[in-house]
Amino acid sequence: MKWILRYSNLPRQLASFSFVGLSSNLVGYGAYLLLVANGMDPLIAVTLLYSIGVLVSYIGNKRLTFRDTGNVLSSGARYLAVYFMGYLLNLFLIFWFAVRLGFPSQIVQAIAIPLVAIVLFALLRIFVFRPNSSSIQR
């Protein structure tokens, strides 16, 4: 029965994660297109915008998606670790498909966003904001 309760919040969390992610990524992708169109290297642009996006999404996901009331330093450190893995995945996708294989970086980044998001949601739910027995029915 506990495993059912563990997943009872999944639809709400997915919807909230999607809202937080879509909001920050639409703004971030627009900024990415502007920066790259004005001559910024795609890898530098994604690094700059990823850093800003992590902070914004931490606040949104901690409060809205996972309704976490735990220690900010503890969850923040795990959040940074997870997002660093997502950042490396994002860089790898741009490097491999845009730099090495020659696909347009704008298209690669548009495809990378949802792929990285799926990985991030799973890791955030399991590693950063994992429900414990006292918080299962949030």
What is the mean pLDDT of each successive set of 10 residues along the chain, which is 138 residues long? 64 94 87 94 89 88 92 93 94 96 94 92 92 49
Residue 138: the pLDDT is: 42
Domain count, the chain: 1
Residue 104 burial (CB count, 10 A): 12
104 phi/psi in degrees, rounded to 5:
-60, 130
Please report the pLDDT score of residue 6 as a whole number.
62
Domain hosting residue 72, numbered range = 12-128
Indicate whether 45 belongs to any domain.
yes
- Note whether residue 137 is domain-resident: no
- Cα 54 to Cα 16, 44, 61, 87, 133, distances in angstroms: 16, 16, 10, 10, 28
The answer to whether residue 3 is domain-embedded is no
